[in-house]
Amino acid sequence: MLTGKKILLGLTGGIAAYKGAEICRLLVRGEALVKVVMTKNACAFITPLTMQTLSGSRVYTETFSPENYQIDHVSLARWAQALVVAPATANIIGKMAHGIADDLLTTLFLARGRMPVLLAPAMNSEMFRDKIFQDNLTALKKRGIYTADPGSGQLACGSSGEGRMAEPREVLDALAGLLQERQDFTGLKVLVTAGPTREPLDPVRYFSNRSSGKMGFALARAARDRGARVHLIAGPTSLTVPDGIQYQEVMTAAQMYEAVLGEAPEMHVVIKAAAVADYRPLEQAGDKIKKDSASLTVTLAKNPDILKTLGERKGPGQILVGFAAETRDLLENAAHKLARKNLDVIAANDVSRPDIGFEGDQNALTLLFAGGGREDIPPGSKDQVAHRLLDAVLRIKNRP
């Protein structure tokens, strides 16, 4: 599973460093390409020479190396497909959780971009149970960092309990799992909508909203990567159109209505992440409106509700996913939309929070399912959130 995969293996200072060496050996035996980064404390437990011999490659220990003109923390982060830190001490987890970058490993962690990171914590059980440590670990998990959770057993300090690093095989299984290219949407046609709509007032002005399209584009990419045939219908955005999908740009809610209802009958899954304007100016001026009067009254007309119409025309077996962007009474409003629009699931999105929702790269959702049931998708990148939403769609699809 790991053949040809480019893996960065980080070692920190703990007795379980010997398991890090075993992980390196197994990775190389599985024909992964491995580069090792060691903290100063890791070098107290195991030598860089050992890791160099096992990995067959230079070992990185310093942030700045005079013989190398490349900036290692950036070039390593760009090179790798995943970073595994095994063992991961309480210290490194604390630093990662708080964005401290004071050595090569913590610096390249900050430069990781979209690279998945897997931590294998290892420490004494008192340290493992400590509230500060647990808060740090939870903060990282909320940011989408994966963990190979430690087990219970004999510890180096002589006691027995939680905190014993996961076995090398377990770490490799977790790594293979997160790198696996899932093809679980193969054979499915998925329609995604994204972005805002623009409702013209005159030739140069329009009503719109803050949607960047990022959430919908992330859903389209995730469905494509999992094997779906994806049709993306988006309002105006400044995003790069993903490869390998059918893309259609629209401007107004009326155009989105036509485009979506034209495609929907063919689709197994429809996901409406677009922020469609509920109203449009009743009349559109042919020329730019002049500022002759002290005030201007604009009459708005209601736009068609695309999602509601989809719910009324839902085909057999078709799965309809709506979003509910709310600034108050999130779950009550979302539950109401779920029922009123005949959806299978609605993604309640708290857009009053500055850290998630519109425009940014992060989101968090609460899914409410038709017939009851709820799932919280914790804060993470829009890509991660998209995959979690697709997992839920697939569970509905595969229901007996």
The answer to whether 27 and 57 are in contact (CB under 8 A) is: no
Read off the amino acid at residue 257.
Y
Q: Is 337 in the site for ligand PMT (CB under 6 A)?
A: yes
Active site residue 157: yes
- x/- map, 158-197, ligand PMT, by CB under 6 A: -------------------------------------x--
Out of 55, 91, 147, 212, the residue judged to bind ligand PMT by CB under 6 A = 212
d(CA 330, CA 365) in angstroms, rounded, equals 10
**DSSP H or E run through 219:** helix 214-225
- Which tokens go with 170? 């377990």
The nearer residue to ligand PMT, 145 or 273, going by C-beta atoms, is 273
Catalytic residue among 127, 157, 254, 394: 157
Report the DSSP beta bridge partners of residue 190. Answer: 230, 269
Give the 3-state secondary structure of residue 236: coil
Out of 165, 325, 330, 390, the residue judged to bind ligand PMT by CB under 6 A = 325
- Which tokens go with 271? 């996901």
* Nearest approach, Cβ of residue 314 and ligand PMT (Å): 13
d(CA 200, CA 195) in angstroms, rounded, equals 16
* Nearest approach, Cβ of residue 368 and ligand PMT (Å): 13
Q: Is 82 in the site for ligand PMT (CB under 6 A)?
A: no
* Nearest approach, Cβ of residue 181 and ligand PMT (Å): 24
Q: Is 351 in the site for ligand PMT (CB under 6 A)?
A: yes
Centroid of chain to Cα 257:
28
* Cross-sheet strand order for the sheet of 6-11: 59-60, 33-38, 6-11, 82-88, 117-121, 146-147
Q: Is 314 in the site for ligand PMT (CB under 6 A)?
A: no
What residues numbered 355-374 form the site for ligand PMT, per CB under 6 A?
357-359
Q: Which residues of this protein are in contact with ligand PMT, per CB under 6 A?
A: 195, 211-215, 253, 272-276, 278, 303, 305-307, 322-325, 337, 349, 351, 357-359
Kindly list the catalytic residues. 157
